């Protein structure tokens, strides 16, 4: 019987998928991915709001564009600090 005290439960490939070489596939489940994606989401929402406002709010749009660039930088920095997938 799998999962009993005598025999440990097998690792599920659904929970911990692996590539052909046996490496774990994170699918973005890292701190770097979550932080970068959240900042980018906020940036795109702000940019969209700026574009649909009447009159269009160009300074807000460019702040959102800058925030999207910040999202990329933050993601790369966090990956290099060890909070991302390798």
* Residues 5-32 pLDDT 10s: 566 555 555 555 555 666 666 677 899 9
Distance, CA of 48 to CA of 31 (rounded, Å) = 26
47 inside domain: yes
From 17, 33, 15, select the one nearest 83 (Cα to Cα): 33
Query: DSSP string spanning 36-81?
Result: HHHHHHHHHHHHHHHHHSSS--HHHHHHHHHHHHHHHHHHHHHIII
Asked whether residue 21 is domain-assigned, the answer is no
Answer whether 35's CB lies under 8 Å from 41's CB. no
User: Is position 9 within any domain?
Assistant: no
pTM above 0.75, yes or no: no
Structural tokens at position 26:
């994170």
- Identify the pLDDT of residue 28: 73
- Domain assignment present for 26: no
Chain segment 34-73, per-residue pLDDT in tens:
999 999 999 999 999 999 999 999 999 999 999 999 999 9
How many domains does the structure of the chain reveal?
1
In a domain, 20, yes or no: no
Mean pLDDT, range 71-80, rounded to an integer? 96
The pLDDT value recorded for residue 39 is 98
């Amino acid at each position: 019987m799998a999962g009993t005290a005598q025999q440990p439960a097998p690792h599920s490939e659904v929970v911990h998928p692996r590539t052909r070489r046996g490496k774990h596939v994170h699918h973005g489940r890292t701190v770097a991915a979550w932080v970068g994606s959240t900042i980018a989401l906020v940036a795109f929402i702000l940019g969209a709001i700026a574009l649909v406002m009447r009159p269009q709010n160009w300074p807000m749009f460019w702040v959102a564009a800058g925030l999207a660039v910040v999202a990329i930088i933050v993601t790369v920095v966090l990956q290099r600090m060890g909070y991302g997938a390798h």
